[in-house]
């Protein structure tokens, strides 16, 4: 299991190797979370993969968050897992822009292919070098990126909804 010493060790190891590219280290709810500069995310993940003492060789998830009020509007979150020691790690990357760009992780983890497509589909985040970056769950010709906060959840085609019953 991942003890506080292990977490400290991993954080120290990353800090020693990458220095200023590691922007912060936190443990919300005892889950090691490291914020990385967006240009370096691929190098960090590659290091975590290759290093024999770290061995984070399983990519659990890639997802994104949209913070419309923050200074850095989009955040992409990577969850990695060390299957040998059962350690989990979360990497966060903050960025701005209408279609923020990031390096793809498909060369390290083939599983990142569909995860990045989903992130692109719902948030509009472009992954440079992705072999097939197109929508995966929504209709192919959709113009918007639905999970961004400016777009409403409800389908706008309905004309029969009584506002009073929806609390509006």
Residues near other proteins (CB under 8 A) are 137-139, 144, 146, 151-155, 157-158, 161
> Please, are residues 119 and 60 in contact by the beta-carbon 8 Å criterion?
no
Distances, alpha carbon 106 to alpha carbons 25, 26, 111, 135, 144, in Å:
25, 27, 7, 16, 25
Is the Cβ of residue 8 or residue 144 nearer to other proteins in the bound state? 144
> How many Å separate Cα 17 from the centre of its chain?
22
Query: What is the Cα–Cα distance from 131 to 163, expressed in whole angstroms?
Result: 45
- Taking the complex as a whole, the smallest distance from the CB of residue 155 to other proteins amounts, in Å, to 6
- Complex with other proteins: residue 30 or 154, whichever CB lies closer: 154
CB closer to other proteins out of 50 and 138: 138
Closest CB 40 distance from other proteins, rounded Å: 34
Q: Minimum distance from CB of 121 to other proteins (Å)? A: 11
Q: Smallest distance from the beta carbon of 164 to other proteins, in angstroms? A: 16
């Amino acid at each position: 299991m991942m003890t506080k010493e292990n977490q400290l060790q991993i954080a120290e190891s990353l800090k020693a190797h990458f220095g200023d590219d590691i922007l912060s280290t936190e443990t919300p709810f005892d889950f090691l979370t490291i914020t990385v500069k967006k240009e370096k995310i691929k190098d960090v993940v590659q290091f975590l993969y290759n290093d024999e003492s770290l061995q984070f060789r399983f990519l659990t998830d890639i997802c994104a968050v949209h913070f419309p009020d923050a200074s850095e509007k989009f955040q992409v979150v990577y969850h990695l897992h060390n299957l040998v020691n059962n350690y989990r790690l979360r990497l966060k990357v903050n960025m701005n822009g209408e279609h923020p760009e990031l390096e793809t992780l498909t060369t390290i983890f083939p599983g990142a292919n569909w995860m990045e497509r989903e992130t692109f589909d719902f948030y509009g985040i472009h992954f440079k070098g992705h072999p097939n970056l197109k929508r995966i769950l929504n209709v192919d010709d959709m113009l918007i990126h639905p999970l961004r906060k400016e777009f409403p959840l409800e389908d706008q085609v309905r004309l029969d909804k009584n506002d009073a019953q929806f609390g509006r």
